[in-house]
């Protein structure tokens, strides 16, 4: 089976030849090429080269065209702060007062150099890999983007106390999100990973999410012209798994803090699970620990299909060693062969 066939079987809740591996490597590409992170993201060709190299090196079953979290905020006029040893971060919020929302405009994708760079990388990668491996594009949920646009504190004030301005911002963000997702699909992405950490009760209580973010996600996902995976970026998912299924998402990125067996039971045939290795803790792992953790995870989550092995946050920290990534892949290739042996 090639990667695409393996992933499609998994999405159809069938057992492929082995568990698919999604090492979600973005900033890690700079390490692969041995260049500074800022330089790495300055050219689409860098991302293309690194993704192709890392796919081969780590037997990765996906190409990941996610550059970095502040990208969409950058399209709205936000600042990106590059670091030498970690993913870029957002600078000062672009929305300083809630009243500024009324004059905010939807960015034009064809006029944004950073967004165009992602589309170029997607297009070049599609030309290179064809239909052999899925290309995963990324959008931020309109419900989560304001954390970067205006800062978390101000956003919570908006969410809880300023419904009119909240709805106005959501309209702008929804419009952008749908356009951005569909532009990536048009450029060659196979599927879209919809990052929505605020759907997790770790961050927002379910009642509030159902009143607000859930409705938005349903609307967005129905208008994205391709399959979507919803990722809660290490937030717990169990209390909202049925809600995520109801949005039409085919995959759920789950947390290292979730109870896998209960989640697996609820997910069965309804949604495919993606996760849930703890990337932060992985920095401390040796090869033996990596093998133990991966084996444990596979035995719980893989039987019956519907499971893709990945980290729980949606991005591999640059501090994780190559040796550990290789060990994870080797373990999946041996322990993750179907049928899974469960003692």
Partner 1 sequence: MSYKDLPIEAFKESLLQVDRIEADKIFESCYLVDNDLKRVENLTMMTLEEIGLGWENGEYSLSQIYMSGVICQEIMEKYIQKFDVVIKNDYKIGIAVLEDHHALGKRIVYSILRSKGYDVIDLGQGLSIDTIVNETINHKLDFLIISTLMLSSALHVKTVVKKLRQKKANVKIIAGGAPFRLDAKLWQKVNVDADGENATDVPRIIEKLANGGV
**Bridge partner list, 253:** 231, 274
Name which of 85, 15, 59 is nearest 327 in CA terms: 59
CB of 333 to partner 1, least distance (A): 27
Residue number, 182 or 278, with CB nearest to partner 1: 278
Name which of 142, 139, 145 is nearest 67 in CA terms: 139
Please give the structure tokens belonging to residue 29: 């590409």
Residue number, 234 or 247, with CB nearest to partner 1: 234
Residue number, 81 or 102, with CB nearest to partner 1: 81
CB of 143 to partner 1, least distance (A): 12
Residue number, 79 or 175, with CB nearest to partner 1: 79
**Three-state SS for 191?**
strand
CB 248 within 8 A of CB 218: yes
Count how many Cα atoms sit within 13 Å of the Cα of residue 314 in the half-sphere of its side chain: 27
CB of 278 to partner 1, least distance (A): 6
Count how many Cα atoms sit within 13 Å of the Cα of residue 320 in the half-sphere of its side chain: 25
∠ Cα 249 132 228 (to 5°): 10
CB of 204 to partner 1, least distance (A): 5
Residue number, 26 or 123, with CB nearest to partner 1: 26
Residue number, 134 or 279, with CB nearest to partner 1: 279
CB 320 within 8 A of CB 50: no
Site residues (vs partner 1, CB under 8 A): 81, 83, 85-87, 89-93, 147, 151-153, 156, 159-160, 201-205, 208, 234, 236, 238-239, 256-257, 278-281, 283-284, 317-319
CA-only gyration radius of the chain, Å? 19
CB of 316 to partner 1, least distance (A): 11
CB of 317 to partner 1, least distance (A): 5
């Amino acid at each position: 089976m090639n990667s695409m066939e393996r992933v499609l079987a998994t999405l159809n809740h069938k057992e492929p030849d082995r568990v698919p591996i999604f090492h979600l490597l973005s900033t890690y590409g700079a390490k692969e090429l041995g260049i500074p992170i800022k330089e790495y993201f300055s050219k689409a060709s860098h991302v293309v080269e690194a993704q192709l190299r890392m796919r081969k090196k780590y037997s990765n079953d996906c190409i990941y065209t996610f550059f970095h979290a502040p990208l969409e905020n950058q399209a709205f006029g936000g600042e990106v702060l590059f670091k030498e040893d970690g993913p870029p971060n957002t600078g000062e919020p672009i929305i300083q007062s809630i009243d500024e929302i009324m004059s905010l405009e939807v960015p034009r994708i064809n006029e944004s150099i950073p967004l165009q760079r992602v589309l170029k990388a997607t297009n070049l990668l599609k030309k290179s890999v064809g239909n052999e491996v899925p290309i995963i594009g990324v959008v931020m949920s309109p419900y989560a983007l304001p954390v970067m646009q205006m800062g978390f504190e101000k956003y919570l004030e908006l969410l809880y106390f300023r419904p009119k301005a909240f709805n106005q911002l959501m309209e702008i963000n929804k419009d952008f999100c749908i356009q951005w997702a569909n532009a990536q699909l048009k450029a060659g992405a196979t599927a879209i990973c919809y990052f929505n950490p605020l759907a997790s009760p770790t961050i927002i209580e379910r009642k509030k999410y159902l009143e607000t973010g859930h409705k938005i996600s349903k609307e967005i996902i129905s208008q994205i012209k391709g399959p979507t995976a919803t990722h809660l970026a290490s937030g717990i998912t169990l209390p909202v798994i049925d809600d995520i299924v109801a949005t039409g998402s085919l995959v759920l990125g789950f947390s290292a803090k979730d109870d896998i067996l209960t989640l697996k039971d609820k997910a069965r045939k309804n949604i495919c699970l993606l996760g849930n290795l703890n990337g932060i803790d992985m920095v401390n792992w040796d090869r033996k620990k990596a093998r133990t953790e991966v084996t444990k995870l596979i035995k719980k989550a893989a039987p019956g299909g519907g499971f893709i092995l990945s980290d729980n946050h949606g991005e591999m920290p640059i501090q994780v060693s190559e040796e550990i990534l290789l060990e994870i892949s080797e373990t999946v290739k041996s322990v993750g062969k179907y049928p899974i042996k469960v003692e």
